[in-house]
A and B are shown apart, each in its own frame.
Chain A
Amino acid sequence: MEPIERLLQEKLIREAQVKTRRHFIKDCATGLGGLALGSIFLGCDPLQPSSKPKQASFSERDLNPLATLPPPYAPKVKSVIYLHMAGSPSQLEMFDYKPVLHKLNNQDCPESLLQGKKFAFIKGTPKLLGPQAEFSQEGESGNWVSNYLPHFKKVIDEVAFLKAVHTDQFNHGPAQLFMHTGSPRLGRPSIGAWATYGLGSENQNLPGFVVLTSGGKTPDAGKSVWGSGFLPSVYQGVQCRSEGDPVLYIEDPKGISRDLKKSTIDAINKINKEEYTKYADPEILARINQYEMAYRMQIAVPKVMSIENEPENIKEMYGVESGKESFANNCLLARKLVEDGVRFVQLFDWGWDSHGTDHSTAVDLGLRNKCREIDRPIAALILDLKQRGLLDETLIVWGGEFGRTPMQENRGNKEMGFKGRDHHGDAFTMWMAGGGIKKGACYGKTDDIGFLGVEGRVSVHDVHATILHLLGFDHEEFTFEFQGRNFRLTDVEGVIIKDILA
């Protein structure tokens, strides 16, 4: 098709999507007259001489938008579990050990570092804040980790660190969007949507992209961080609740039996099938498929989302709290979902915004509690996937939307009651583990106080390029045409971080 024809077709589809019944009736006033006139002159539609539907061949995707497609290159992983610490954890208390910063504790930050830098809250000349945790080198790799994460030490040789990631956003909403959609503004699809669009979902009874949240709040950027942007909305993340019904209204209403439900859906589908024989529109087949999938999901989703039947030792390993919304429960669910063939599982844990405004956001108090909440579950997730042979076909990504400053936050240019750090996008730590990842690797280095990356700096786009690479895509070729141009997750940037690949 010519580009202009494609553009016109896109316009037609978009128009049809937003057209309401009211629009339709309004159009009928003039449209029906025209139709009548047309039939007087021609008697019938000259373009369609036969009333029989054309025998068209539809791809599996036409009938089921989640049908699987092979990736262009042999993939290293089938699924991704993305652990996002919303609010952004302090790398300086967890992974990026800076003994020099310890010595400089409470000294004024040199002016040269502050020039041209924007901070969310820091004003004037802040003081440097030494690491509040004790660090040690662990595992055979000898990578550094703090005493805030005692269980993590056991799995440290499974992960590859990126010590000098940088982003150009310094507020939560835009930075989260950037981290998940490749753009700090609304409207782009998230990584999970791209992955589901490109690969589909193997399990017919479950969504391909599931989102689980914990920590009491959803991310600042809202649901757009797992949205489908300009991709068809069927590829957006399905947020499942770990408390109550996993998906709202998934249970049949009281008094409706499963059999009645089935016969209702069968009746609807029968009508739809008759429509299909008349008009041969693949959208109708897609709709039939969706009704059936929804019916199957009513059984499959509550089953996979229930952790009650897991053995005690597994529950203990993760530290789950039954009936509550917790990061530990979500980690266990993530394993179950990946085990059942879900393509992309996104975990958001809220509460990492350690500004030091109160007890819960102090880097020596509240942050420690947050670390405890994720430490055991993450170590358990890695070990559990490993013992089931799933770690080699799953990618785990851990990170926040940015990092935190080596300076103590001085909100309003005043000394604050608790020790906290401001937002900082120039250098922070992320890690990956799983299939195709070089175990125990550590790439990138920050300066002596952890303010800037000095070696192996990688951008958010580079992280995206690497994730897509592991899923079997070339991030430069994986595109979607929208408004007349091809869009990529990595826009015009992104370099695969080969140094952390096995």
Chain B
Amino acid sequence: MDILKQFLGRLHPLLVHIPIGFIILGLLLQWYDRKKKSYTKIIAIVFFWAGICSILTCITGYLQYLGEGYSFNTVKWHLWFGIATSLFCFMMYFKLAETSFTSFISRLPVVFLSVLLFLMISITGHLGGDITHGKGYLLEPFPNRIKSLFGYKSFEEKPIILTEENWESSLLYEDVVHPLINNRCVSCHSPKKSKGGLQLHTLEHIRMGGENGEILVPNQPDESSLYSRLVLPKDHEDHMPPKEKPQLTKDEIAVIKTWISAGSPTEVTLGELQLPKELFLSFFPKIEDRFYPDVEVAAVPTDSIAPIKDFGIHVQPISSSSNFLSVSCINKPDFTDNDFELLKPIKEQIAVLDLGGTQITDGIFEKLTTLPHLTSLKLDNTAISGQGIAQLGILEHLKVMNFTHTQFEASHVSAFGDFKQLEKVYLYQTKASKEVLDGSLENQDILDFGNYGLPKIASDSIIY
């Protein structure tokens, strides 16, 4: 008997489509026949059968509710609307067949019944869809903004912002743990969707636990599944959040652990608990380490790059999202100072310039001053001596310079003192060396004279 019940129940998703078809057909015919009213009898038959099928559908639906273990709350509205729909089908039939079954029906306008029936079938269908595919299935493809208009967005991301000034006075639960659980867990554990009977949107609910019992044992993170499930292997069945959902970072897991270890307090600040700052560094606003200038430049039109490329110079954006260019003469060893004119159309955009191994002379420095965003400059393996290098001091973004294997003179090294952002100068195989300059420099640490060696040691020649 149970088998039959379950089997008939499972016919429900199939049967539902029959009354839907009949009702829509009836409504369409009504609209088509709105003037002449010559098909009324036929339309009545359509609604009669719509009603019969609706009742069958309701019965199988009820069996499915019993057999598949849905809670009444989930199916409630779908069930009532379904029953109502079948009743309205019969009302429509009685009205059209003019059986004068009851007098109040004959007083109702047909259009009113038609509109109502259309609404009923739509609502019932939608509610049924929500049960099979999950709530919010229909609107899922839309962005959050639109979903929230329909009241579907199940949670709102709460940013965690700690700063140098306020981090010690921030509350551990209110300012860190609560938004963190909100952002990572609440989309599945809230009044709207409480998987495992667990809700995590308030502290009370966290303390209440879910169907597997309590999830928070004060001071014992390893006993609290609020923490212990986070650190299970990702493939473990009980790992949270589920494998395919965004995961907590290591720092976030550490914060949860800290909070539970401290006895899951509410009104305590990070400073009062004397927690280390390192634990929370990932919640501080990122100080972006930008190598390239923090300014916007316009994109270079392709046709002004073409002649430069055709000349044999390699030109390429730093990345596909950047307008800054990296320019290299790696394939153009016969590049001379005069060829620099060619680069004029892209002077604003050049951030990286590699003229290594070319025919340039010290005359190039004056020209280089016209590249306002130059960040990295390579002049290695050329004949330059550094005469005029001081002019580059006006380039406020210049960070790295490479003079490896050139005639760079020791006397020009002092010019680097006036450079604003300079981070590194490579002077290996030049006339400038540590010995020559002998500690007469202020900013030694940005200069790399190279000439490293690995002394011979006894073990070099021991064969085991």
Binding site for B on A (CB under 8 A): 68-75, 150-151, 154, 202-205, 313, 316-317, 319, 340-341, 364-366, 368-369, 372, 376, 379-380, 383-384, 386-389, 392, 472
B 433-464 contacts with A by CB, 8 A = 448-454, 457, 459-460, 462-464
CB distance from A156 to the nearest CB of B (A): 13
Which one of B318, B428, B464 lies within 8 Å of A388 (CB-CB)?
A: B428
Shortest CB-to-CB span from B308 to chain A, Å, is 14
A154 touches B454 (CB 8 A): yes
Are A366 and B464 in touch, CB under 8 angstroms?
yes
- Of the 9-residue stretches B57-65, B90-98, B263-271, B320-328, which lies at the interface with chain A? B320-328
Indicate if the CB atoms of A74 and B454 lie closer than 8 Å. Answer: no
Closest to A311 in B: B429
Which residues of the other chain, A, contact B462 by a CB distance below 8 angstroms?
372
B399-418 to A contact mask, C-beta < 8 Å, 1/0: 01010100000000000000
A472 touches B330 (CB 8 A): no
User: In the complex, which of the residues B314, B317, B424 contacts A389, with contact meaning CB atoms closer than 8 Å?
Assistant: B424
Q: Is the CB of B426 within 8 A of A389?
A: yes
Q: Which residues of B contact A (CB under 8 A)?
A: 291-292, 314, 316-322, 328, 330-331, 378, 380, 400, 402, 404, 424, 426, 428, 448-454, 457, 459-460, 462-464
CB neighbours (8 Å) of B291 from chain A are 74
13 examples of A-B residue contacts, CB within 8 angstroms: A69-B320, A70-B318, A154-B454, A205-B331, A364-B464, A376-B460, A379-B454, A384-B452, A386-B448, A388-B402, A388-B426, A389-B402, A389-B404
Q: Is the CB of A317 within 8 A of B314?
A: no
CA distance A379 to B455 in the complex (A): 11
Q: Using known A-B contacts A383-B452, A383-B454, A389-B404, determine if residue A70 contacts B464 with beta carbons closer than 8 Å.
A: no
B451 neighbours in A (Cβ, 8 Å): 387
Whether the Cβ atoms of B459 and A70 lie closer than 8 Å is: no
Task: Identify which of B318, B426, B459, B460 contacts A387 (C-beta below 8 A).
Answer: B426
Which residues does chain A contribute within 8 Å of B463, judged by CB atoms? 369, 372
A68 in contact with B331 given A73-B321, A388-B404 (CB within 8 Å) = no
Establish whether residues B292 and A204, one from each chain, have CB atoms under 8 Å apart when the complex forms: no
Give 5 closest A-B pairs by Cβ, nearest first: A387-B450, A389-B426, A383-B452, A389-B402, A387-B428
- Picked from B319, B378, B426, B452, the residue with its CB within 8 Å of the CB of A317 is B452
| Residues of chain B lying within 8 A (CB to CB) of residue A376 | 454, 460
Nearest CB in chain B to that of A73: its residue = B319
| Chain A residue with Cβ nearest B319 | A74
Partner of A369, one of B317, B400, B464: B464
Contacts of B316 in A (CB 8 A): 68-70
B449's closest neighbor in chain A, by CB?
A: A387
Q: Are B448 and A70 in contact (CB under 8 A)?
A: no
Task: Evaluate contact between A380 and B454: CB separation under 8 angstroms.
Answer: yes
> Which of A151, A341, A386 touches B454 (beta carbons < 8 Å)?
A151
Report the minimal beta-carbon distance from B289 to chain A, rounded to whole angstroms: 8
Chain A residues with CB under 8 Å of B400's CB are 389, 392
Q: Contacts A366-B464, A383-B454 known; A389 to B330 CB distance under 8 Å?
A: no
- In the complex the two chains form, is A75's CB within 8 Å of B404's CB? no
Chain A residues contacting B330 (CB-CB under 8 Å) are 202-203, 340-341
B460 neighbours in A (Cβ, 8 Å): 319, 372, 376
Supply 14 further A-B pairs (C-beta < 8 A) apart from A313-B453, A365-B464: A68-B314, A70-B318, A74-B322, A75-B318, A151-B454, A151-B457, A203-B331, A369-B463, A379-B454, A383-B454, A387-B404, A387-B448, A388-B426, A392-B400
Closest to A74 in B: B319
Q: Is the CB of A75 within 8 A of B319?
A: yes
Among residues of A, the one whose C-beta sits closest to the C-beta of B315 is A68
Closest to B322 in A: A74
Per the bound structure, the CA–CA distance linking A364 and B400 in Å amounts to 45
Contact B459 A389 (CB under 8 A): no
Tell me which residues across on chain B come within 8 A of A369, comparing CB atoms: 463-464
Are A71 and B320 in contact, with the CB atoms below 8 A?
Answer: yes
Q: Determine the distance from Cα of A31 to Cα of B400 in the docked complex, in whole angstroms.
A: 64
Residues of chain B contacted by A386 (CB below 8 angstroms): 448, 450, 452
Most chain B Cβ neighbours within 10 Å, of A68, A70, A369: A70
Q: Residue of B at shortest CB range from A199?
A: B316
Taking CB atoms, residues of chain A closer than 8 Å to B449 are 387
Q: Give chain B residues whose Cβ lies under 8 Å from the Cβ of A341.
A: 328, 330
Q: From known contacts A319-B460, A369-B463, infer whether A389 and B380 are also in contact, taking CB-CB under 8 Å.
A: yes
CB–CB A317/B450 < 8 A: no
Contacts A73-B321, A319-B460 known; A388 to B380 CB distance under 8 Å?
A: yes
Q: Is B320 a contact partner of A389 (Cβ separation < 8 A)?
A: no
The reply to whether A70 and B320 form a contact with Cβ atoms under 8 Å apart is yes
- Chain B residue, CB-CB nearest to A366: B464
> Is the Cβ of A71 less than 8 Å from the Cβ of B319?
yes
- Chain B residues with Cβ below 8 Å from A319 are 460
CA of A18 to CA of B292 in the docked complex: distance in angstroms? 47
Residues of chain B within 8 A of A68, CB atoms compared? 314, 316
Contacts of B331 in A (CB 8 A): 202-205
Q: A387-B452, A389-B448 are in contact. Are A70 and B426 (CB under 8 A)?
A: no
Complex alpha-carbon distance, A75 and B321, angstroms: 12
Report Cα–Cα, A150/B461, bound state, in Å. 13
In the assembled complex, the CB of B350 is this many whole angstroms from the nearest CB of chain A, namely 14
Given the interface pairs A317-B453, A389-B404, the reply to whether A70 lies near B319 with Cβ below 8 Å is yes
Instruction: Tell which of A203, A205, A340, A368 touches B464, judged by Cβ atoms closer than 8 Å.
Output: A368
Check A388/B317 contact, CB under 8 A, given A341-B330, A366-B464: no
